[in-house]
Structure 1
Amino acid sequence: MIVLAELAGSAGYGGGERYLDVLFEGLDRSRYRPLLILPEPGPFADTMNARGIATRLVRLDPLVNPLALLRLVRLLREERVTILQTHGARANVYGRLAGRLAGVPCIVSTVHNAIKDYEVSPFKRWCYETALRVTAPLAHRIICVSEAIRCDVIQSCPPVAARAVTIYNGVDRAWQQQNGQGSRVRAAWRCERGPVLLVVARLTEQKGHRYLLQALPTLLAHWPTLTSLFVGAGSCRESLQQEAEQWGVGQACRFVGATEAVADFYAAADVVVLPSLSEGFPFVILEALAMGKPVVATRVNGVPEIIEDGRTGLLVPPRDAPALEQAIARVLRQPDDAARMAQAGRTAVAARFTAERMVRETATVLEAGLPGTQSLQCSPKVAA
Structure 2
Amino acid sequence: MRILHLLNHTNRLNGHVHAAVDLACAQRMLGHAIAVASGGGDFDALLTRHDVEQFTISHRRRPLDLSRSLFLLRHYIQAWRADVVHAHMMTSAVLAWPVCKLVGIPLVTTVHNEFQRSAILMGLGTRVIAVSTAVGRSMQKRGVPLSKLHVVLNGTIGAARFQGRDRTPVDLGFPAILFVGGQHPRKGLPDLFEAFSSVHARHPAAKLYIVGEGPHLASYREMVGKMPCSGAVTFAGAQDDPFAWMLGADIFVLPSLADPAPLVLSEAREAGCAIVATDVDGIPQLLEQGMAGILVPPRDPPALASVLCSLLDNPETIAEWKRKSQTKIDYLTIERVAGETMKVYKAAISSLRQ
Same fold (TM over 0.5): yes
Q: Which residue of 2 aligns with 1:100?
A: 101
What are the Cα deviations for residues 281-321 of structure 1, in whole angstroms up to 9, with x where unaligned?
Answer: 12211121122211011111111112246532111122222
Shift of 1:221: 0.8
Q: Equivalent residue of 1:215, what SS?
A: helix
**Equivalents in 1 of 2:175, 2:168: separation in Å?**
16
Q: Which residue of 1 aligns with 2:347?
A: 368
Aligned partners of 2:25 and 2:52 also within 8 Å:
no
- Is 1:180 aligned with 2:181? no
Aligned partners of 2:25 and 2:47 also within 8 Å:
no
Q: Which residue of 1 aligns with 2:232?
A: 252
**Equivalents in 2 of 1:157, 1:63: separation in Å?**
28
What are the Cα deviations for residues 141-186 of structure 1, in whole angstroms up to 9, with x where unaligned?
Answer: 111111110011111014x2101011112232598x999322xx22
From 320, 328, 332, the equivalent of 1:340 is 320
Aligned partners of 1:308 and 1:314 also within 8 Å:
no
Q: Which residue of 1 aligns with 2:146?
A: 161
**Equivalents in 1 of 2:339, 2:277: separation in Å?**
28
Aligned partners of 2:203 and 2:312 also within 8 Å:
no
Paired letter, 2:94: V
Q: Which residue of 2 aligns with 1:91?
A: 92
- Is 1:144 aligned with 2:130? yes
Using the TM superposition, name which of 272-281 and 243-252 deviates more.
243-252
**Equivalents in 1 of 2:308, 2:258: separation in Å?**
20
- Is 1:289 aligned with 2:276? no
Using the TM superposition, name which of 84-93 and 296-305 deviates more.
84-93
Identity %: 25
Q: Which residue of 2 aligns with 1:54?
A: 53
Q: Which residue of 2 aligns with 1:12?
A: 11
**Equivalents in 2 of 1:63, 1:325: separation in Å?**
47
From 185, 202, 208, the equivalent of 1:222 is 202
Shift of 1:230: 1.5
Q: Which residue of 1 aligns with 2:298?
A: 318
**1:20-31 equivalent positions in 2, closer than 5 A:** 20-29=20-29, 31=31
Q: Equivalent residue of 1:272, what SS?
A: strand
**Equivalents in 1 of 2:193, 2:246: separation in Å?**
19
Q: Which residue of 1 aligns with 2:41?
A: 42
Aligned partners of 2:128 and 2:148 also within 8 Å:
yes
**Equivalents in 1 of 2:48, 2:305: separation in Å?**
42
What are the Cα deviations for residues 69-93 of structure 1, in whole angstroms up to 9, with x where unaligned?
Answer: 3443333333322110111333223
Root-mean-square deviation over aligned CA pairs? 2.7
Contiguous gaps of at least 5 residues in structure 1: 119-124, 376-384
Paired letter, 1:284: V
Q: Which residue of 2 aligns with 1:72?
A: 73
**1:112-127 equivalent positions in 2, closer than 5 A:** 112-114=112-114, 117-118=115-116, 125=117
What are the Cα deviations for residues 41-75 of structure 1, in whole angstroms up to 9, with x where unaligned?
Answer: 43233443344322223222227764233443333
Shift of 1:109: 0.7
Paired letter, 2:96: G
Q: Equivalent residue of 2:81, what SS?
A: coil
Shift of 1:359: 1.1
Q: Which residue of 2 aligns with 1:263?
A: 243
**Equivalents in 1 of 2:90, 2:97: separation in Å?**
11
Aligned partners of 2:257 and 2:278 also within 8 Å:
yes
Describe the shift of the 1:242–1:46 C-alpha distance in structure 2 as closer, same or farther (beyond 3 A): farther
Aligned partners of 1:146 and 1:166 also within 8 Å:
yes
Using the TM superposition, name which of 40-49 and 148-157 deviates more.
40-49
Shift of 1:349: 1.2
Aligned partners of 1:82 and 1:104 also within 8 Å:
no
What are the Cα deviations for residues 98-150 of structure 1, in whole angstroms up to 9, with x where unaligned?
Answer: 3223x151210111232xx23xxxxxx3xx266x2xx73x5221111111100
Aligned partners of 2:261 and 2:283 also within 8 Å:
yes
Aligned partners of 1:36 and 1:54 also within 8 Å:
yes
**Equivalents in 2 of 1:317, 1:9: separation in Å?**
34
Paired letter, 1:165: H
Give the TM-score, by structure 1 length: 0.82
Aligned partners of 1:6 and 1:86 also within 8 Å:
yes
From 223, 234, 239, the equivalent of 2:219 is 239
Aligned partners of 2:254 and 2:278 also within 8 Å:
yes
Q: Equivalent residue of 2:43, what SS?
A: helix
